[in-house]
Structure 1
């Protein structure tokens, strides 16, 4: 076994184990609340769906590539080349879309009653959230179905001069204009979700700042300098910066993989390692900084 394969295998193994621990712990927490009879909040369903998308990425990228790196598994048919990249793309898209939905939902909730988005508050019903989650899954399943159609296994005796190699798998090369169109189609949902999340998070920070200014005169500053608004704002900025940083890197690498014909081993594995970062970190951020509870308490005191 080559040293680089052993190194990347250890990285995949560590990230996968940590990610599975974090996501299953978060999922267990919410399932435990359901079984103990606690009244669920609308955001609980969103977070559960986020962990499900993260778990799909961890299994399709982390476990799969860990076994490949250590030589515990070998792709022997086209099915392996089609199913794992497809599940990875769907899980990644669901994770991004669900994080965006979580931010938009909180932004609408925090809005005052006299704002132009006040009419949307009545639509923040669990049925609307379920419909949004289903739409997210359907969108990702349909958009990413093009990805595995032309992916096949790379045989040792196969001439791959007319194919783009992804290691164990390869795809037929097409014209640059066709590749560009395919990349644009696959990237459009990511760009849309990223834009919506930036708007929602900016709105959250803005209204939390305004609320802090409004209630500042009734608080005794010598008791505590860390207000709920300050805690929520810092948490939102941390979550958004983590989301934007890793998913922007992942978006750039996916674009490069789609446009360039000759892909190095380092580029392919860097893309996979970056793809694991947000699914690994997000559950720990949500458990360490439960800003959903903070925002819920702030919303109770917001007035029109």
Structure 2
């Protein structure tokens, strides 16, 4: 047995399990908040939607890739391959949209000073849910063509075909390049929006921190000033997303036209799931209310678990 295969088995199980748990904690927290009669803030709606689609990315990529790492390559037929990969690409697109929307909403919130901006901010909560539904429809439509290039492992044995997946085959057709360019431009627009708005927020928060530096020197707060913590969270989320997205996109482009090694495919799958697995913990650690909820929940289930284990 190859040591790299054993390592990837452990990595995929850990990544999918821990990442899914983190996103589920965020979803449960906001669902509990809503069911308790509290009104969710607009940013809460975006974060809960991000957690939902991130779980979609993790499960549609992590579970099949874990089974492939265990050597089970023919567990999906042609229809199953088309469905799983289609759902993964739709969830990935929605994760990109939600991350850029979250960054844009935060930028508007931080720099909202004029009357027109304040009025727009007041109306934004009305547009968040419809926008999410519209983008769901848009993503389902734009990636509707992608299953045409996917075949089950039994339907294709041609070694010259692209292999973006171990458990399925990716067939390169004549118009694949045009379709790839269109979807790449679509993704890069959202990446550009996210990077620009995040950079703008960092600049605004940095200037504000410099103006109030003397206050923070006289009134020290544990863990740094609120502006500093916000900058760190924004920079961390953006750097994680952009870094993994760009590297994974290059690897996918290579695998679309060349036959990669098994190790290369596993590495690409790992990078594709890094942001969905890491982002919930960045958001949990940056929100004291969610963190307190997690601590209280762990304390409540600690006694029943110990009683069950000892009994």
- TM interval, shorter chain, is 0.7 to 0.9
Unaligned segments of structure 1, at least 5 residues: 294-304
Q: Does structure 1 conserve the Cα–Cα contact (< 8 Å) formed by 2:73 and 2:166? A: no
| 1:19 aligned partner | 19
| 1:131 aligned partner | 130
| 1:301 aligned partner | none
Q: How many residues align?
A: 287
With 161-170 and 102-111 compared, the bigger mean Cα shift is at 161-170
The one-character-per-residue Cα deviations of 1:242-292 (angstroms, maximum 9, x if unpaired) are 11111121222222223x232222222111111110010000000011299
> Distance in 2 between the 1:281 and 1:11 partners?
13
Structure 2 residue 41 is the aligned partner of structure 1 residue 56:
no
The one-character-per-residue Cα deviations of 1:168-187 (angstroms, maximum 9, x if unpaired) are 32233334xx3321211121
| SS of equivalent to 1:48 | helix
Q: Does structure 2 conserve the Cα–Cα contact (< 8 Å) formed by 1:57 and 1:92? A: yes
Deviation for aligned residue 1:161? 4.9
Deviation for aligned residue 1:118? 5.7
> Distance in 2 between the 1:51 and 1:249 partners?
22
- CA change 1:220–1:52 in 2 (3 A) is closer
Q: Does structure 2 conserve the Cα–Cα contact (< 8 Å) formed by 1:163 and 1:172? A: yes
Deviation for aligned residue 1:27? 0.9
Q: Does structure 1 conserve the Cα–Cα contact (< 8 Å) formed by 2:152 and 2:169? A: yes
TM-score (norm 1): 0.85
| 2:261 aligned partner | 264
- CA change 1:152–1:108 in 2 (3 A) is same
| 2:301 aligned partner | none
1:239-278 paired onto structure 2 within 5 Å: 239-258=237-256, 260-278=257-275
| 2:194 aligned partner | 197
> Distance in 1 between the 2:246 and 2:43 partners?
25
| 2:235 aligned partner | 237
With 39-48 and 115-124 compared, the bigger mean Cα shift is at 115-124
With 83-92 and 128-137 compared, the bigger mean Cα shift is at 128-137
- CA change 1:199–1:76 in 2 (3 A) is closer
| SS of equivalent to 2:27 | helix
